[in-house]
Amino acid sequence: MSLFDLDAEDAKARHAALVREIRKHDALYHGEDNPEISDAEYDKLRQELEKLEAEHPELTTPDSPTQTVGAAPSSGFKKVRHAVPMLSLSNVFSEEEAEDFIGRIRRFLGLGEDEIVELAAEPKIDGLSCSLRYENRKLAMAATRGDGAEGEDITENVKTIQNVPQSLPNDAPDILEVRGEIYMGRHDFEALNKRQIEAGKQIFANPRNAAAGSVRQLDSTITADRPLKFFGYALGEISENFAETQEEIRQKLAAWGIPETPYKLCRSVSEIMENYQAVLEARADLDYEIDGIVYKVNRLDWQERLGFVSRAPRWATAHKFPAEQAVTKLNGIDIQVGRTGALTPVARLEQITVGGVVVSNATLHNKDEIERKGVRIGDTVVVQRAGDVIPQIVKVLEDKRDGSEKEFIFPDTCPACGSLAIREGGDVVTRCTGGLICPAQATERLKHFVSRLAFDIEGLGSKIIEQFYEDGLIKSPADIFTLEERNKGTLTPIRAREGWGDLSEKNLFASINERRNIALNRFIYALGIRQVGEATAKRLAGAYGTIENLKSAMIAAQNHESEAYADLIAIEDIGPAVADDLIGFFSEDHNLEVLDALALQLDIQPFEALRISDSAVAGKTVVFTGTLSKMTRQEAKAKAESLGAKVSGSVSKKTDYVVAGEDAGSKLKKANELGVTVLSEDEWLDMIA
């Protein structure tokens, strides 16, 4: 029977069946990474659906798979931009580090000896962060954190979570974003796994994975079946202020029906430690998993002044519980070559569960570390895992040796390209000298280039990068963006490769093309310059605005006497060592060639902070000098930078403003000589108000 013969009733029934089938496979593929059918079979279903809809256009609904998957090729969820970024937290692991955290706050705010920093101590829930947005007191949107700036729209799934209120009482503000954690209770988790076993389905390793897997279901009826819960602990966008302290925020949220965890106000390090011990002891009896305590400065005006460093607030930190440990056997040591050529020894372990996660590898860091720990192949070792960090080897259990253990000889050549591997100066790292000829470095650089905080190209995972590199399809970053063009008219198109099909090929090109437009900070980070992480990339983007400016400044800075060099090391957190890596990168012809090739393919957006800040000081260069009375120098600098200004340590013709506090000296003099505008502290504060 051909499609033409189907009458309207049959067509409708077939349509519904196809939609159900496709949704099911979408869920298996995206939600559980566990497809049941091949790409080709899947493509066939979609083709049939497309044909059917062409014959019977009345069957095409806006949520038909023909209309939806194309728009969100890789995950199936719509992307949403957070009105206020969702941040992560810095960590402390000891009493000393907790004390340092408070010390930094005191210094930043310039607090007097007798002033107390009150902290709200809350359990750190081990779940999945989520932002709930209420508009006119109705739940309007729920989103995952994603990369912090952009997450995924999971509204339909969150609506199935029973303790999330769908609406708020009349005294709640018009716009209220609540940030919190979606989690699964311990008992619920055990019951779910029991059900999974009975149904012959996969079980989840721990409650966190179960929660994440349940939220990421494209079919919200599956989510509805999973026992998820929510805790609120912070705010995103709000239409009006309703609190002066973190404690008041939590009290208000609780009054509006948002589930809240207990918390405790602490006024000293000893109170912090007392609470830490108490919670650690109570931990096993809680029905939800926690992995530490979060401390938040209670006063919101202080939170505001403290602001953020990169992706974490200065006013909060997480005090992590000690790492969980387990004993296992070390079966071998492999050498991995990183994108900067570093040779990292990785221990291959007899599989074991540590803190609810299955572990089969642990890092040994470098040659010295292997010697210091005295690790031999065949040893019985203690392994530990803390938070998200890579598992580590704590020590060798020497009394478990039977004499068959073998010493590991650290290689003096690169296992990937055979080039000499050396340690430079006092460096603990052994590096491959192969540079461009080393395939391991090249593929690691490419993996970094497409990674989540860089170009974030879904569909180009590690395995695929390795295959495409090996087959010569992608050798350098710009090749990613010419792939589609080269794929046309070739006898060996990507869709013909094993595991690929029309749809996955189309989705890959869609996710590549989506990234031709890229923010400058992501672009800089993607280049993989040694020591230039996400935070430094952002600072560079903020300071130089465009890639052309950055490039010419780095070339000029090769001369260490130049103004360009002075400007570079005046940027927060950029010292001479980072500066040298940056300058080194931009002095290599092959790197400049990569930049030029990419420039032809991409639209690199100037740094966002400069564009979104409508502050009078956005884009201006400011120098602070003398003693400021209303804020510390660090606070002044952080504030100016958050408004999009560039803070420099030296006065030049390019300086827009010099803010002179008391006893200003040579910089003030120089400003007057050059005719640079000089502001008092109060004039500056008026300007940024």
Binding site for ligand IVH (CB under 6 A): 87-89, 122, 124-125, 129, 181, 233-234, 294, 313, 316, 318
- 405: tokens are 């253990």
Partners of 320 in the beta sheet?
Answer: 292
Smallest distance, ligand IVH to C-beta of residue 88, A:
4
Minimum Å distance from CB 163 to ligand IVH? 16
Separation CA 670–CA 651 (nearest Å): 7
CA atoms within 13 A on the CB side of 489: 2
Collapsing DSSP to helix, strand or coil, 564 comes out as helix
Find residue 124's DSSP bridge partners.
292
Dist CA 546 CA 142 (whole Å) = 34
Q: Using CA atoms, how far apart are residues 157 and 27, in angstroms rounded to an integer?
A: 13
The residue behind tokens 């006013």 is 315
Min separation Cβ 208 and ligand IVH, Å: 11
Contact 391, 354 (CB under 8 A): yes
Nearer to ligand IVH, 131 or 443 (CB): 131
Q: How far apart are alpha carbons 512 and 450 in whole angstroms?
A: 9
Written in H, E and C, the secondary structure of 466-488 is HHHHHCCCCCCHHHHHHHHHHHC
Residue nearer to ligand IVH on the CB measure, 319 or 447: 319
* Rounded CA separation 332/407 (Å): 10
C-beta of 294 vs 623, nearer to ligand IVH: 294
Question: Smallest distance from the beta carbon of 210 to ligand IVH, in angstroms?
Answer: 16
Can you read off the two tokens belonging to residue 517?
């437009």
Q: Which is nearer to ligand IVH, 246 or 443 (CB)?
A: 246
| Cα gap 323→94, rounded to integer Å | 12
Instruction: Report the nearest approach of ligand IVH to the CB of residue 316 (Å).
Output: 5
Both structure tokens of 240: 């009006």
State which residue, 82 or 124, has the beta carbon closest to ligand IVH.
124
Minimum separation from the CB atom of position 383 to ligand IVH (A): 22
**Residue 290 beta carbon to ligand IVH: minimum distance, rounded to whole angstroms:** 8
Q: How far is the CB of 207 from ligand IVH (least distance, A)?
A: 13
* Alpha-carbon span 451 to 526, nearest angstrom: 8
Q: Rounded to whole angstroms, how far apart are CA atoms 283 and 289?
A: 8
Query: Whats the size of the chain, residue-wise?
Result: 689
Between residues 45 and 89, which has the closer beta carbon with respect to ligand IVH? 89
Q: Which is nearer to ligand IVH, 19 or 128 (CB)?
A: 128
Residue 124 known to be catalytic: yes
* Measured distance CA(311)–CA(149) in Å, rounded: 10
Query: Which one, 25 or 639, has the nearer CB to ligand IVH?
Result: 639
Residue 627 carries which DSSP code? Answer: B
- The least distance separating ligand IVH from the CB of residue 85, rounded to whole angstroms, comes to 9
**Smallest gap from residue 351 Cβ to ligand IVH (A):** 27
Please report where in the chains the tokens 């200004």 appear, as a residue.
645
Map residue 415 onto helix, strand or coil: coil
List all residues 6 or more positions away from 241 whose beta carbon is below 8 Å from its beta carbon. none
Q: Which of 44, 124, 194, 670 is catalytic?
A: 124
Amino acid at 512: I
Would you say 137 or 319 has its CB closer to ligand IVH?
A: 319
Closest CA to 346 of 386, 383, 397: 383
Q: Which residue is nearest to ligand IVH (CB)?
A: 129
Query: Which among 516, 542, 548 is positioned nearest to 609, based on CA atoms?
Result: 542
The answer to whether residues 132 and 142 touch, using CB atoms and an 8 Å cutoff, is yes
**Looking at beta carbons only, is 212 or 346 nearer to ligand IVH?**
212
What HEC string does 246-278 produce? HHHHHHHHHHCCCCCCCCEEECCHHHHHHHHHH
Give me 172's structure tokens: 């709640």
Catalytic positions, written as ranges: 124
